[in-house]
Structure 1
Amino acid sequence: MPPDTAPLSLARGLLQQADSDAVMVRVLAADGGEGTAHSYRDLLRTALALAADLTDLARTLGRPARVGLLAENSPEWVAADLAALFAGAVEIPVPTAFTAQQAASLLESADLCLTDTAGSAALTRWTAATPDPVLPAGCPTTALDLPALIARPPAPHPPVPGDDAVVKVIHTSGTTSAPKGVQIRRHGLDALLTSLRTRTRPAIFERYLSIVPLSLLIEQVAGLYMPFLAGGSVSFLPPGTALVGTAADAAPRMLTLLRQARPTALVVPPTVAGLFLALCDQQPAESVTERHRRIFGHDGPVFIACGGAPVPPEILQRLHAHGLTVHEGYGLSENSSVVSWNFPGEVRFGTVGRPLDHVHAELADDGELLIRSTSLFAGYTREDPSSVVVDDQGRLHTGDLAEIDDDGYLRITGRKKNLVITAGGRNVAPEWVEARYRELGFIREAAVIADGLDDVHGLFVIDAALDPDTARSRITEFGRRKLSGIERAAVVHLMSEDDPAYATCFTVTGRPRRDVIRHHVLTRTPAAAPQQTKEKA
């Protein structure tokens, strides 16, 4: 960014909108009706009232309060998140899809737990599932009651916290069942948002549609803070609607709500990019404007961002030819989310864009991506062998293998720890192989398992409407044509996209949970045997 760019303060920028009657949050209606809308004035008033309570709690504790947040994507989530920000509290958002053990691990230091209706239901479910307490001793729960908070006398604007304290603890998977907490710094989050705002136009975030859980930091950044700082709005799916990545059929059902939401921006996992292509292919002769009206309900453009597992370049190019450009990016919670992004007008397919202005990227001798950044995290709540490290030069060792071209664009080629060696001593980089298989439009997700095995196994999540024998035949033929004998899946396992195990085997952003998948494909019951085949020599 230009050297004279002043770093923004997220809290101060939000408070500047406190007197606006513009829509801040919309909740779509399941029947296609008007839904509900909440203004900046009302939601920020709610957040300030709740912030006053958190400030009182901090005085009692003699330190910033640690606040668990159990909620689905909702106005209540937004109010609680902003209240924690204004009060200088440490927010601990917990996915309601977690197990009781995972939730207890993340909440072990919480002083208070805020819940909406879905969060209360999750807490009840967890409590019934385990004899062990989910919340630490002495940690009360408070239901988020927006009407009651709005009805309070207006709370004064608090002093904007200025110290570089930890403001969030974000879950990330590790090598154990207990998720690590990534500690996010206030100044780190501000540095990230400053960089993003120098590279994007405010109009992009006029109407953001949120389809993945807000417990993901990237969704908080792209779905809340970027729209709110621009005076835009976020739309949430109807209450009770499964978010993408939390249920097997969530992504196809989300597509039916696009025209109602009329989004100008959204972040999608890779599987949704494939669904967009299928929608485009339904009417290839229509104009770009007609296509935007049919899919998104307005003339466009729409900023579609994608991260997590890579999208095959062929799919990206075909979408671009249809007038829908998907902007791939790369990030990790340890950098407060985004490291690099393909921004409008600067897209290079097959890459994850160039690093943000506050990030410096370089490669180690073995090809590992190292980054220096002013938005790095403040450490983990617990360590395990999957933890990344910051060396004595301030470089974060990402664990990702990458290439950097002459123009500074990054290409992620795989994970160091995922490079597998078959029982025959052959090396396989699974991410590249998986991306090639996803070129087949009916494949929603793919995962290759080979470490220590005689054969390469592939798990393929396929379109529920496709005949399994047809899918198996096309996968096998594609492997023979496009991949070497070392890389292609010799043993093909199929899973329908409506199989509940889909959400267990893959993350919301499409990354394979490789240990879970390995167990799944190697311990299949006899009843599942028809869904797997081994390629004949």
Structure 2
Amino acid sequence: MMTALFERISLQARQYPQLEAVVTTQATLSYAELQQRVELLSAGFKQLNLRHLALWGVNSIDWIVVDLAAQKAGMTVIPVPLFFTAAQVRHLLSDSQTELLCTLDESFSAPEWLLNLAQDMSRDEISITGQLHARFFQLEQAVQYSSSLQTQQPAKITYTSGSTGTPKGVCLVEDTIESITHSLSQALASSQLGRHLCLIPFATLLENIAGIYVELSMGRAVIVGEVSQFGLVSNHTFDTQRFVNAVQSYQIESVILLPQMLKAIVEYSAEHGATGFKTLKFIAVGGGKVSADLLKQCQQLNLPVYEGYGLSECASVVSLNLPGARRIGSVGRVLPHVEVEIAANSEVVVKGNAMQGYVNDQAATPYIHTGDAGYFDEEGYLYITGRIKQMIISSFGRNISPE
């Protein structure tokens, strides 16, 4: 389990029990209430003596509680991307050796095909104590550990978003996740940010770590809900007015955006002005390349945009621009939990805080070859100039193979 994160949540619960932790349109959960729910559900998970839990659901209080409780119980959590097809979900469940599938139904019922798939693969639907709107299916498979597996059980397996081919599961251990959580927390500590809006689905590792773990470890509040109400209507559609309404209603100070979202916000601001975003202090953007022209427009509009760079194999963020340390066109300086080298062919190679390996391919290596080309300037800012490997990353953060 992620000891440091749970200790931070416990500390907040003791010192500031009424401090808001998670806020939705229907409810607010304090740090004391969050800890209580996590402890209760974790106890229920421990009684099952199962190791791998797959989690399907929209962003919600329950998603956060299940994720934290399962890891506290020593389980591996496998988030299920909502855009995965039935075939991809079946592969994920089989490939990850999922023993328990959780579908959350708080405000967005699981599709019929998913429930049919769960019932087809399960031997039983079980009940677990906890204040949840959820269904749990115990699947007909047991976890088999081959000699190639590392001795440390993964805390999380995150699946790639490939639109063609078979998704691959990236295995991340507790130390790797806690290292990036601590590194980002330290980098953002001086910014003194308030409420964070979770606009990207939690099955996306970046929001899961930077939007939940980092915020909760720092005693901040996260605003959650089905992302369409905040503007992300689909994988290809962003409603800027909904986003403006959410920022104003909840007095949002930080958010993570994908490039196409940022483009829509700039276009909106050019027409209506940027006053609707005046509470925002930190807009992190990643998941794809952002043009220097777009970033210059953000600067002219006084939008506090900070581009970063990362990949799932390194538990998300590798480098990030920060207040007082920003270069337009760069992806910032490398964070202290990793090292980056530029290979002879200009490939960006990351060392440290690497994944344990892919599911069924656990060849551990301290180096992650990103497939991205880049360079450092004289002040240590990293620039990404293109791809070495033939892979297209869409403006909504999806990896698309041209083959």
The bucket for the TM-score relative to the shorter chain is 0.7 to 0.9
Pick from 283, 297, 304: which aligns with 1:325? 304
Q: Distance in 2 between matches of 1:68 and 1:372?
A: 29
Cα 1:247–1:362 shift into 2, 3 Å: closer
Q: Which residue of 2 aligns with 1:295?
A: 276
Q: Distance in 2 between matches of 1:276 and 1:146?
A: 37
1:395 pairs with 2:367: yes
Q: Which residue of 1 aligns with 2:206?
A: 218
1:413 pairs with 2:391: no
Moved more, 225-234 or 200-209: 200-209
Cα 1:508–1:87 shift into 2, 3 Å: farther
Amino acid at match of 2:195: R
Deviations 1:270-323 (A, max 9, x none): 011112212322256xxxxxx4xx313xx5352000001111111111211221
Amino acid at match of 1:91: V
Give 5+ residue unaligned stretches, structure 1: 1-6, 29-34, 150-162, 285-290, 420-430, 432-446, 448-505, 519-537
Structure 1 residue 507, shift from structure 2 partner: 7.0
Structure 1 residue 175, shift from structure 2 partner: 8.2
TM-score by length of 1: 0.65
C-alpha RMSD of matched pairs (Å): 3.0
Secondary structure (helix, strand or coil) at the match of 1:69 reads strand
Structure 1 residue 367, shift from structure 2 partner: 0.9
Pick from 238, 250, 273: which aligns with 2:262? 273
Cα 1:105–1:192 shift into 2, 3 Å: same
Deviations 1:3-35 (A, max 9, x none): xxxx9822222222234111111113xxxxxx4
Secondary structure (helix, strand or coil) at the match of 2:279 reads coil
Q: Distance in 2 between matches of 1:145 and 1:192?
A: 30
Structure 1 residue 97, shift from structure 2 partner: 2.4
Mapping of 1:47-446 within 5 angstroms? 47-58=38-49, 61=50, 65-108=51-94, 109-117=97-105, 121-127=109-115, 136-138=121-123, 140=125, 146=131, 165-174=153-162, 177-201=165-189, 204-237=192-225, 241=229, 244=232, 246-252=234-240, 253-283=242-272, 291=274, 294-296=275-277, 299-373=278-352, 375-382=353-360, 394-418=366-390
Q: Distance in 1 between matches of 2:226 and 2:115?
A: 26
Secondary structure (helix, strand or coil) at the match of 2:252 reads coil
Amino acid at match of 2:367: R
Secondary structure (helix, strand or coil) at the match of 2:29 reads strand
Amino acid at match of 2:327: R
Cα 1:174–1:281 shift into 2, 3 Å: closer
Amino acid at match of 1:192: I
Q: Which residue of 1 aligns with 2:143?
A: none
Does 1 or 2 have the higher relative contact order (CA < 8 Å, sep 6+)? 2
Contact 1:210–1:267 (Cα < 8 Å) also in 2: yes
Cα 1:107–1:143 shift into 2, 3 Å: farther
1:18 pairs with 2:3: no
Secondary structure (helix, strand or coil) at the match of 1:201 reads helix
Amino acid at match of 1:146: Q
Give 5+ residue unaligned stretches, structure 2: 135-150
Cα 1:148–1:358 shift into 2, 3 Å: closer
Contact 1:112–1:140 (Cα < 8 Å) also in 2: no
Q: Distance in 2 between matches of 1:239 and 1:406?
A: 40
Q: Distance in 2 between matches of 1:124 and 1:301?
A: 39
- Paired residues in the alignment total 381
Moved more, 314-323 or 233-242: 233-242
Secondary structure (helix, strand or coil) at the match of 1:371 reads strand
Secondary structure (helix, strand or coil) at the match of 2:166 reads coil
Contact 1:107–1:135 (Cα < 8 Å) also in 2: no
Structure 1 residue 339, shift from structure 2 partner: 0.6
Q: Which residue of 2 aligns with 1:472?
A: none
Cα 1:203–1:350 shift into 2, 3 Å: closer
Moved more, 328-337 or 195-204: 195-204
1:513 pairs with 2:387: no
Secondary structure (helix, strand or coil) at the match of 1:17 reads helix
Deviations 1:344-375 (A, max 9, x none): 111101111111112111111111111111x2
Q: Distance in 1 between matches of 2:41 and 2:300?
A: 48
Secondary structure (helix, strand or coil) at the match of 1:324 reads coil
TM-score by length of 2: 0.85
Secondary structure (helix, strand or coil) at the match of 1:227 reads helix
Q: Distance in 1 between matches of 2:371 and 2:163?
A: 14
Amino acid at match of 1:225: Y
Contact 1:70–1:115 (Cα < 8 Å) also in 2: yes
Secondary structure (helix, strand or coil) at the match of 1:51 reads helix
Contact 1:113–1:142 (Cα < 8 Å) also in 2: no
Amino acid at match of 1:282: E
Secondary structure (helix, strand or coil) at the match of 1:138 reads strand
Q: Which residue of 2 aligns with 1:44?
A: 35
Mapping of 1:475-486 within 5 angstroms? none
User: Which of these two proteins has the greater Rg computed from alpha carbons?
Assistant: 1
Structure 1 residue 44, shift from structure 2 partner: 1.7
Structure 1 residue 212, shift from structure 2 partner: 0.8
Moved more, 397-406 or 240-249: 240-249
